[in-house]
Structure 1
Amino acid sequence: MAVSSSTPIRILIADDEPIIRLDLRELLTSLGYDVVGEAADGRTAVELARKLKPDLVILDIKMPEVDGIDAAEALHRERLAPVVLLTAYSERELVERARRAGVAGYLVKPFRESEIMPVIELALARFHEVQRLERQVVELQEALEARKLIERAKGVLMQVHGLSEAEAFQRMRRLSMDSRKSMREIAEAILLAHQLESAGRTNEPRSSLPQHD
């Protein structure tokens, strides 16, 4: 069964055995994937991933210089691509290292054609889901920070102009609409202006005290 997509999934493969790379390339190509690069060690695989920006990387677990798990950790840390680990090993220590490195899937040697596509598709799905969740976390953090700034800016308007909370919010909202800026930008401007005004008052020279003869 071949991949049904107008844009083939781009895959980088890394194994220190040329015959394994050749077999894997032929299998992936026959399934409709686009093998965009090959590497014989983990260090080269990471460098190629940075350059080629593949959709997925398949790494052998045992390679010279940098092994597959260390390379997977670097790829995961930089969010370059999901990693499928190619291995003939099942030691608990290696499995635990791979899990901590963010490996998204496994292919066990000798691999069969029927196993490749499900593993790749699941790894891609997991990677995209993690990306979606990370974006949500960032958006929530930004929304929370914006809300804190808006609350502080409302407090400044209430204190300086004697407004109610609702009036302060409406003033900020009107400024946002008139200037076509976000509420966060308006809040930041209000807080900055208040800070500068407060600093100016603090730095004003004090009047000299009258001297007695």
Structure 2
Amino acid sequence: MAQKLRITILESDPERARMIVDGLCDAGDFTITVLGNETSLNQRLSELDPHVVLVDIANPSRDTLESLSLSSGANKRPVAMFVDRSDPELTKAAIDAGLSAYVVDGLTKNRIKPILDAAIARFNMVSQIRNERDAAKAALAERKTIDRAKGLLIAAKGISEEEAYALLRKTAMNQGRKTADIAHALVTASELLK
């Protein structure tokens, strides 16, 4: 059985909070927690560990956005923010803070679930892109280390590039390690011997 989606709502106005809760309850079965203020937000969100954070702030400041980004872990979970007015600087700050959805003057009961779905989908897409980027960076770093190690072997043993790579691979297989790990050890050792 799938775990219920845990949603934390940050809303100081009880009437608006009730409308958000009602919109979510009409759309599905969620575990919902409402926080009435930003006091100890980081600690509360850490304790609650929600899957999604919904924020309704009439006029957010840059400090609020930064605090929300840091405390909610916008890179860790989808965060959707509802605001009452449009401001290009605040919109940019919201995007820079990593919010998954920034909705201006759009808080109505029937729009909450579609916005929640869009925020989750956008968060998942950005997370996938971030993971692919990180994997590509790691692969490039490994490739550079292997190339440096091959260069060291070529210089030290007078062998070809293919032979240097084959030696790295053979050593890795004999030790049950990755070729990049052997290359890293060789590069580190050579730097120590300088």
TM-score, structure 1 as length reference: 0.77
- 1:189 maps to 185
1:13–1:38 Cα contact (<8 Å) kept: yes
Q: CA deviation at 1:173?
A: 0.7
Q: Percent identity?
A: 26
Deviates more, 1:57-66 or 1:151-160: 57-66
- 2:52 maps to 56
1:61–1:68 Cα contact (<8 Å) kept: no
1:12–1:37 Cα contact (<8 Å) kept: yes
TM-score, structure 2 as length reference: 0.84
SS in 1 for 2:9: strand
2:60–2:83 Cα contact (<8 Å) kept: no
Q: State the AA in 1 paired with 2:137.
A: Q
Q: CA deviation at 1:123?
A: 0.5
Per-residue CA deviations over 1:145-177 (Å, capped at 9, x if unaligned) read: 111111111111111111111111101111111
CA distance in 2, matches of 1:112, 1:72: 23
- 2:109 maps to 112
Cα distance, 1:110–1:118 mapped onto 2, change above 3 Å: closer
CA distance in 1, matches of 2:185, 2:128: 31
CA distance in 1, matches of 2:190, 2:90: 57
Q: CA deviation at 1:68?
A: 5.3
Q: CA deviation at 1:66?
A: 9.2
- 1:15 maps to 11
Cα distance, 1:73–1:122 mapped onto 2, change above 3 Å: same
Q: CA deviation at 1:42?
A: 2.8
Q: CA deviation at 1:54?
A: 1.2
Deviates more, 1:128-137 or 1:25-34: 25-34
Larger relative contact order (Cα-Cα within 8 Å, sequence gap ≥ 6)? 2
Question: Structure 1 stretches of 5 or more lacking a match?
Answer: 200-213
Q: CA deviation at 1:78?
A: 5.4
- 1:129 maps to 125
Q: State the AA in 2 paired with 1:181.
A: R
Cα distance, 1:109–1:118 mapped onto 2, change above 3 Å: closer
Q: State the AA in 2 paired with 1:111.
A: T
Cα distance, 1:10–1:94 mapped onto 2, change above 3 Å: same
Cα distance, 1:139–1:32 mapped onto 2, change above 3 Å: same
1:150 maps onto 2:146 in alignment: yes
Cα RMSD, aligned residues only? 2.8
Q: State the AA in 2 paired with 1:32.
A: G
SS in 2 for 1:166: helix
Per-residue CA deviations over 1:65-88 (Å, capped at 9, x if unaligned) read: 997534443257652322211233
- 1:95 maps to 91
How many equivalent residue pairs?
A: 193
1:53–1:80 Cα contact (<8 Å) kept: no
Cα distance, 1:53–1:172 mapped onto 2, change above 3 Å: same
- 1:86 maps to 82
CA distance in 2, matches of 1:117, 1:8: 15
1:160 maps onto 2:174 in alignment: no
1:37–1:48 Cα contact (<8 Å) kept: no
Per-residue CA deviations over 1:170-189 (Å, capped at 9, x if unaligned) read: 01111111111111111022
2:21–2:32 Cα contact (<8 Å) kept: no
What does 1:37-76 align with in structure 2 at a 5 Å threshold? 37-62=33-58, 69-75=65-71
